[in-house]
Amino acid sequence: MLQEIDYGLDDISLCGSYITMNDNFIFVSSNGNNMYNGLVTVYYKNVTKENNVITITKHSTIYSPEYLNTNFGIKLSATNTYLAVSGLNYDVYTGIIYLYKFIKDCWINIRKIYSIKNNYLNGFGNNLFFLNDDILFVSDFYNNIYEFIYNTDKRKFYITNTIKIMETKEIKYNLNMVSDNINNLFITNNTNILTTYIINKNIVSYYKENSPHNCFYGSNMYFYKNTLFVSCSLYYPFYNIPDNIISKIFIYSIGYNDYGVSNIMLVQIINAINNDPYFGTSISIYDNNMIICGKNTAHQYTK
């Protein structure tokens, strides 16, 4: 570990609850800010280090468009053009996605994407990510993953496909997903089931990993150069922390064949700093440095 970055906000703000990047910016969410209305802080990506002190420069702050408990920023995804922000608790966990576009050096709110199913506790926006500027995937609490395609003529994202993923006995809803930017989704639902899905062929495969059940396996995932990082940590929002939470990060090497993913091999485990139950709530890698978010802090590792 090189340096711990303390954002200086109180515990209620939940600063660092999620972090994502594009080529130019780092997006850090604080979904507990202002009584869980939430905000996203945007930093320039030109991080500097002098005398072991890391400095990042703030670009802007994006506040929740709503004045109610939305958990704005609990999940984020960004390309160089778009930023998608989840308001998971909108309308009692019905969920909503706020879509921003980078225009003249500003992130401008251009669209709201409402829940596909208009019912309470649906959890639309439980996770989301851009495959590219034209394809956005969004999940809900019921193992549904919705594929949105951008319509150039109408300048909107429209749903084109729904992927139904296996339920398990332990927990019934999907939590996280990530892509290898080729044609595969990696999906977890808080158990030791790791799912792969080949996007264009609608083929689903299940890998059962020997991960502990006294953690939330797959609370966050990150893919980088044929390597999959799977967090086993608490995730926001949580008020009563179970005593048996063990936070760690599993690092897998991914093998491929002509049909997609051929094998998943565990190569390293990183344990939590100071027994932080939130260690691993978000992971990002750039320039061979890995940033792992914990409770109001971010830890930087180098390869």
pLDDT tens figures, 66-75: 877 788 988 8
How far, CA to CA in Å, does 5 sit from each of 41, 47, 55, 295?
15, 12, 9, 11
CATH number at residue 206: 2.120.10.30
**What is the Cα–Cα distance from 122 to 117, expressed in whole angstroms?**
7
**Residue 113: per-residue pLDDT:** 93
**Residue 3: per-residue pLDDT:** 41
Instruction: Using pLDDT thresholds of 50, 70 and 90, give the confidence band for residue 4.
Output: very low
| Among the ranges given (32-41, 208-217, 258-267, 271-280), the one the predictor scored with the smallest mean pLDDT | 208-217
Task: Supply the mean pLDDT for the chain.
Answer: 80
CB 186 within 8 Å of CB 177: yes
pLDDT digits 0-9 by tens, 79-118: 999 999 999 888 888 999 999 999 999 999 999 999 988 7
**Residue 211: per-residue pLDDT:** 62
Q: Quick one: DSSP state of residue 66?
A: S
| Long-range Cβ contact pairs of 208-212 (< 8 A, separation 24 or more) | 209/250, 209/264, 209/266, 211/250, 212/246
Q: What is the pTM of this model?
A: 0.78
Mean pLDDT of 11-16: 62
Angle at 182 between CA 168 and CA 84, to 5 degrees: 70
Phi first, then psi, for residue 253 (nearest 5°) are: -90, 130
pLDDT digits 0-9 by tens, 197-251: 777 666 667 776 666 556 678 888 889 889 999 988 875 445 555 666 778 899 9
**Residue 97: per-residue pLDDT:** 95
Asked whether the predicted pLDDT for residue 280 surpasses 80, the reply is: yes
**Residue 57: per-residue pLDDT:** 87
Closest alpha carbon to 237 in 39, 28, 76, 14 = 14
Asked whether the predicted pLDDT for residue 32 surpasses 80, the reply is: no
Asked whether the predicted pLDDT for residue 9 surpasses 60, the reply is: no
Q: Quick one: DSSP state of residue 280?
A: T
**Residue 285: per-residue pLDDT:** 82
- Tell me the β-bridge partners of 215: none
The secondary structure of 235-273 as a DSSP string is -SS-SS--TT---EEEEEEEEEETTEEEEEEEEEEEEPG
**What is the Cα–Cα distance from 275 to 245, expressed in whole angstroms?**
9
Asked whether the predicted pLDDT for residue 21 surpasses 50, the reply is: yes
| Percent of all residues in the chain with a pLDDT value above 90, rounded to a whole number | 22
Tokens, residue 28: 């850090």
CB 293 within 8 Å of CB 9: no
Asked whether the predicted pLDDT for residue 122 surpasses 80, the reply is: yes
| Strand pairing category for 96-103 and 82-87 | antiparallel
Angle at 239 between CA 246 and CA 222, to 5 degrees: 50
| Among the ranges given (42-46, 74-78, 230-234), the one the predictor scored with the smallest mean pLDDT | 230-234
Question: How many distinct structural domains can be found in the chain?
Answer: 1
Asked whether the predicted pLDDT for residue 127 surpasses 90, the reply is: no
Q: Quick one: DSSP state of residue 69?
A: -
Mean pLDDT of 267-285: 84
Instruction: Using pLDDT thresholds of 50, 70 and 90, give the confidence band for residue 7.
Output: very low
Tokens, residue 258: 């002509």
**Residue 89: per-residue pLDDT:** 87
- Tell me the β-bridge partners of 175: none
Structural element, H or E, at residue 41: strand 39-44
**What is the Cα–Cα distance from 278 to 29, expressed in whole angstroms?**
14
Mean pLDDT of 252-276: 86
User: Domain residues for 35?
Assistant: 3-302
pLDDT digits 0-9 by tens, 135-190: 899 988 877 888 899 888 888 888 887 776 666 555 555 667 888 877 788 888 76
